[in-house]
């Protein structure tokens, strides 16, 4: 009878140990499985980041892709250029396509290649100066191109005798001014090259059209 009690007690202990062992194994298995899932997710995310970064070099096959790729830099040149993360340079072959600078107060648009880099400022009731936008250069002295337009110049006005005036919608527009280099962009830098391109080539040949 005594021996039977010992055996019965021992059986209970064994059962409890077995239950505890199973619980530990179950918890350990769940922990390992969860850790593996998190690791797999991290690896997948890392691969995605790696693939996105690779776009800037391996998949930047032309200017458009380079411009959208992570890690690329846009150079202020003419034509516009993009430098990929790996140092490769791509030139915008479509940069010569004309665009328009809208002068909404006058109801006209000036057709020129680098219109997206430009804005204007009224310097009088009938005159504007043309400027580079702050995104192109934050330096105020470099923003002013040195050229502008006078609308409806009158006899005696220096702009009245200028050649190349254009008449649109019953108004006459004369390109005026004297462009100079920006001293802050020394050594014929990219800003001065862009200014020279706009002032020397684009604006003298620009066409004014009605925007109404």
What ranges do the domains of the chain cover?
A: 58-97, 99-210
**pLDDT score at 79:** 66
List phi, psi (to 5°) of 64: -60, -45
Residues 172, 166: contact at Cβ < 8 Å? yes
| Nearest by Cα to 192 from 132, 126, 124, 105 | 132
**pLDDT score at 13:** 64
Instruction: Tell me how far apart the alpha carbons of residues 204 and 128 are, in angstroms, rounded to a whole number.
Output: 16
**pLDDT score at 118:** 94
**pLDDT score at 37:** 59
**pLDDT score at 187:** 67
Phi-psi region of 170 (alpha: psi -120 to 50; beta: other; left: phi over 0): left
b/e per residue 77-107 (b: at least 16 CB within 10 A): bbebbbbbbeeeebebeeeeeeebbebeebe
Q: Which residues of the chain have pLDDT under 50?
A: 1-6, 8, 42-43, 45-60
**pLDDT score at 157:** 80
Which helix (DSSP H) or strand (DSSP E) does residue 75 occupy?
strand 73-75
| Nearest by Cα to 209 from 167, 174, 175 | 167
């Amino acid at each position: 009878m005594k021996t039977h009690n010992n055996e019965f007690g021992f059986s209970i202990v064994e059962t409890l140990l077995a239950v505890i062992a199973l619980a530990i194994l179950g918890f350990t298995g769940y922990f390992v499985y969860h850790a593996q899932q998190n690791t797999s997710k991290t690896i997948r995310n890392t691969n995605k980041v790696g693939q996105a970064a690779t776009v800037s070099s391996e998949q930047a096959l032309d200017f458009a892709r380079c411009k959208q790729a992570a890690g690329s830099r846009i150079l202020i040149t003419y034509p516009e250029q993009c430098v990929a993360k790996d140092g490769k340079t791509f030139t915008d072959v479509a940069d010569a396509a004309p665009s328009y600078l809208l002068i909404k107060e006058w109801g006209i648009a000036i057709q020129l290649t680098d219109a997206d880099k430009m804005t204007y400022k009224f310097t009088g009731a009938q005159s504007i100066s043309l400027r580079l936008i702050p995104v192109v250069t934050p330096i105020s002295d470099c923003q002013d191109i040195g050229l502008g337009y006078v609308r409806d110049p009158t006899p005696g006005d220096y702009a009245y005798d200028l050649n190349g005036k254009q008449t649109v919608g019953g108004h006459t527009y004369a390109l005026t001014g004297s462009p100079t280099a920006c001293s802050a962009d020394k050594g014929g830098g990219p800003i001065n090259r862009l200014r020279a391109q706009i002032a020397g080539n684009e604006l003298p040949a620009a066409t004014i059209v009605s925007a109404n």
